[in-house]
Amino acid sequence: MTDSYTVGIDVGGTKIEAVLVDGMGVVRVCERMAARGGADRVVADCARLARMVAGPYFPEVQAVGIGIPGQVDPTTGHVANVVNLAIVDVELARLVSQALGGVPVHVENDVNAAALGAAHMLDRGSETVAFLNFGTGLAAGLVYRGRLLHGASGSAGEIGHIPVDPNRFECPCGQRGCLETVCSGAAVATLWPTGKDDPPMPDLLAKAKAGDPAAQRVLAIVKHAMGDAVQMVTQSVDPELIVVGGGMAKTGQPLLDAIGEEVQARGRRCPFLESLHIAGRLRLAPPDEPIGAVGAALAAVHVSV
């Protein structure tokens, strides 16, 4: 093992996952625990898990990275409006650093952290990688030459609230027709309620394939919006690799096939789109891998060096 380490922490609505990463970017230890709501508890749990995953190597930890949903200022480590964890406002980086005896702490939005982790795990040779997070909401994380693209205000990749969908459903953000209203996990659950705790996308795909007209109609709406999301990312940053992640990615290859069918159908109508070979750029995020925690660790390294 090397003599310098970084801890990465992925804070989710139900669990917190942490990894110990060595100087070569290899995960040496992975631990997780149930998430608890409230800013004080999240701070305490992040600090506890960082010490737990580092174990005897904690004195060699050069930095801790945290990925968390909500509004994140990566320059200050301030986090706001994490609804699932009942966080209104918290100076997460400063408070976790204090709890760890002054170890530098860097905080990223969870989608950005996952983008960096996915780029690291799937393809280190690509100059530009986009991570499309089809989760409760919809957003993209953008990685260029191993670094995250935040934009002037930190809103780079926030494609979920681009109001282009023709169905014009009302969005909590105050607009109508946001992509998030039709192709996020929450949107699909609304458009195709199954009455079960199971995610709706596998059922929707299966029913549509079996010829259910209602399922085919809903799937056409969802696929169109997913195609819009992929096309926006492709034509704005032209990534070599487009990683599909988030909760809906657990559907697996059938989801990727559905998105591929949509972009290929568009290509048949448009030689320009066909020339981009978008379907060939699509990959699923590696299942059951701690990509968010790994990305958080890598983001912290880039800040600390």
Residues 183 and 230 in one domain: yes
For range 31-46, the mean pLDDT = 97
Question: How far are the Cα atoms of 26, 27, 301, 305 from residue 23, in angstroms, in the given order?
Answer: 7, 10, 9, 12
What pLDDT score was predicted for residue 305? 43
List pLDDT tens digits, range 107-132.
Answer: 999 999 999 999 998 876 889 999 99
Residues 131 and 278 in one domain: yes
Residues 128 and 276 in one domain: yes
Confidence of residue 25 (pLDDT cuts 50, 70, 90): confident
Residues 67 and 118 in one domain: no
Residues 193 and 45 in one domain: no
Residues 37 and 125 in one domain: no
- In the chain, the number of structural domains is 2
Residues 160 and 275 in one domain: yes
Residues 135 and 201 in one domain: yes
What pLDDT score was predicted for residue 304? 52
What pLDDT score was predicted for residue 1? 43
Residues 123 and 249 in one domain: yes
- Could you tell me if 96 and 46 are in contact, meaning their C-beta atoms sit under 8 angstroms apart? yes
CATH number at residue 223: 3.30.420.40
Residues 122 and 24 in one domain: no
The tokens of 290 are what? 């701690």
Averaged confidence pLDDT in the chain? 94
Residues 101 and 119 in one domain: no
Q: Provide CB contacts within 8 A for 216, sequence distance 6+.
A: 208
Residues 160 and 255 in one domain: yes
What pLDDT score was predicted for residue 288? 86
For range 155-162, the mean pLDDT = 94
How far, in whole angstroms, is CA 281 from its chain's centroid?
18
Count CA atoms closer than 13 A to 175's CA, side-chain side.
14
**Higher pLDDT pick, 2 / 190:** 190
Domain holding 176, by residue range, is 114-284
For range 51-75, the mean pLDDT = 96
- Could you tell me if 241 and 280 are in contact, meaning their C-beta atoms sit under 8 angstroms apart? no
List pLDDT tens digits, range 207-216.
Answer: 999 999 999 9
pTM: 0.93
How far, in whole angstroms, is CA 203 from its chain's centroid?
23
The tokens of 242 are what? 């487009």
C-alpha span between 298 and 294 (Å, rounded) = 6
DSSP 295: H
